[in-house]
Amino acid sequence: MSRQPNEPATMVLILTPWATEQDMQQLFQRIEDKGLDRVVYRAQVRTHIHVLGDLSGESETQWSAQPGVEQVYGLPKPYPMANKTHRRAHTRIPVGSQQLGSEDFVVIAGPCALESEEQGLEAARMMKGLGIEIMRASCFKPRTSPYSFQGLGVEGLHILSRIREATGILVETEVMDVRDVEIASELVDVVRVGARNMQNFDLLKEMSRIRTPVIVKRGASNSIKEFLLAAEYILQGNENVILCERGIRTFETGYRNTLDVGCVAVLKQETHLPVIVDPSHAAGNKTLVPALSLAGVAAGADGLIVEVHPHPSVALCDGDQALHRFQFENLMRDVRGVAAVLGRRTLPPLSTGFATPGPEPALSVPA
């Protein structure tokens, strides 16, 4: 998948009312130097210059910096590889027995953080028992405070690999440091770029050098356009990019972040890449996770990544938002129902009727 030339297009330069004749001559020269054509409309207040030809190398910034230019319009979308216009078939990424980006609806679930080999194994067995083929668990934790639990680090990657071997579950984990990308790509099945690193461009470049599928989480304040440009970085070398909407930062404080279902809908129009939703980090609170999960499915997502923990109340990280087993089972029942209405295939249902909150299983390790 090499980069294709951009489409020819028209760029429109709208001049300020105070643009001088000299400004205009310099613009004409610049247009000519680049082998482009022009058509000029002189309106009463503002002059418009239409520039025609191969504009694939042009950027708005360069043109709007020219003296006399007020606005620049009409350049093509800046993410040619991620854009659906250039690749109409959906990208499909195998995950266990399913394919992300097809009619399959894929659920990734597990604890926020890997806390120990025991906790990881217990979680993996619980996930397997619930029909989940791929478990999330972070070894490196991007923590806002330097005084919070920071994760098990590289040793955690080795633990995940052993859990994978012992249970047959696939594993997904975040990588934060450029120096850990290569080893992670060898030890786990899917790597993740966290929301806070969506514009850590050195990390994105490292991700373009591996072949392991990469989940890119949308930065909490990044636009859809910036999100697709982050994907574009990885697509320079690695086709296996999965986009994950996880809530944006707004003025509302009634929950942690605003899950942006409109982003899911726009992405499904704009790109061929698979799109999943993380309801747990958007909610920040387990009571909201079911509603947000179902909203994500209904908005057209190709999958979910949900936090579930065998013992939420002793979780070292984000225990607020991790579902109990019975909550997850009830959620999955509804997810399967909604997905089916929309023509999506999920893994076979495991139970019928409502799950009920039995006691948390006894801990084998002290909390």
For its own copies, the binding residues in 130-149 under the rule CB under 8 A are: 142-148
Q: Which of 29, 116, 313, 351 binds its own copies (CB under 8 A)?
A: 313
Site string for its own copies, 142-181 (x = CB under 8 A): xxxxxxx---------------------------xxxx--
Q: Residue 14 forms beta bridges with which residues?
A: 48, 71
**Residue of 164, 192, 246, 268 that binds its own copies (CB under 8 A):** 268
323 binds its own copies per the rule CB under 8 A: no
Q: Is residue 363 a contact point for its own copies (CB under 8 A)?
A: no
Secondary structure of 297-337 in HEC code, one letter for each residue: HHCCCCEEEEEECCCHHHCCCCCCCCECHHHHHHHHHHHHH
Which is nearer to its own copies, 143 or 211 (by Cβ)?
A: 143
The CB-of-291 to its own copies minimum distance in angstroms stands at: 4
Beta-sheet strand order (sheet of 47-53): 37-42, 47-53, 9-15, 69-73
Q: What distances in angstroms separate CA 271 from CA 63, 105, 152, one per listed residue? A: 27, 18, 35
Q: Does 43 bind its own copies (CB under 8 A)?
A: yes
Nearer to its own copies, 78 or 94 (CB): 78
Segment near its own copies (CB under 8 A), from 103-111, 131-139, 238-246, 258-266? 258-266
Q: How many residues bind its own copies (CB under 8 A)?
A: 103
Identified binder of its own copies from the candidate list 104, 260, 278, 307, rule CB under 8 A: 260
Fill in the DSSP letter of residue 45: S
In this complex, which beta carbon is closest to its own copies, that of residue 134 or of residue 230?
A: 230
Q: Is 250 in the site for its own copies (CB under 8 A)?
A: yes
Which tokens belong to 16? 């300020």
The secondary structure of residue 288, as a DSSP letter, is G
Of 96-104, 115-123, 164-172, 255-263, the segment contacting its own copies by CB under 8 A is: 255-263
Choices 90-98, 165-173, 254-262, 345-353 (CB under 8 A): range interacting with its own copies: 254-262
Residue whose CB is less far from its own copies, 93 or 259: 259
Binds its own copies by CB under 8 A, chosen from 266, 345, 350, 355: 266
Taking the complex as a whole, the smallest distance from the CB of residue 139 to its own copies amounts, in Å, to: 13
For residue 37, give Cα distances in angstroms to 31, 54, 308.
7, 10, 59
Residue 334, interface with its own copies (CB under 8 A)?
Answer: yes
Q: Is 116 in the site for its own copies (CB under 8 A)?
A: no
44-103: contacts with its own copies (CB under 8 A): 44-46, 48, 50, 52, 59, 61-62, 64-67, 73-74, 76, 78-79, 85
- Closest distance to its own copies from the beta carbon of 303 (Å): 15
Question: With respect to its own copies, which residue has the nearer C-beta, 116 or 148?
Answer: 148
Strand bridging mode 106-110 / 93-95? unpaired
Applying the rule CB under 8 A, the residues between 192 and 221 that interact with its own copies are 196-197, 199-202, 219-221
The nearer residue to its own copies, 164 or 217, going by C-beta atoms, is: 217
Q: Residue 55: which H helix or E strand, with range?
A: none
DSSP letters, 160-199, are HHHHHHHH--EEEEE--SGGGHHHHHHH-SEEEE-GGGTT
Angle at 171 (CA atoms; ends 234, 108), nearest 5 degrees? 85
Whether the CB-CB separation of 295 and 283 falls below 8 Å is answered with no
Neighbours of 254 (CB within 10 A): 7
- What is the residue-wise DSSP string for 3-21? PPPPPPEEEEEEEPTT--H
What are φ and ψ of residue 293, in 5° steps? -60, -50
**In whole angstroms, how close is the CB of 89 to its own copies at the nearest point?**
15
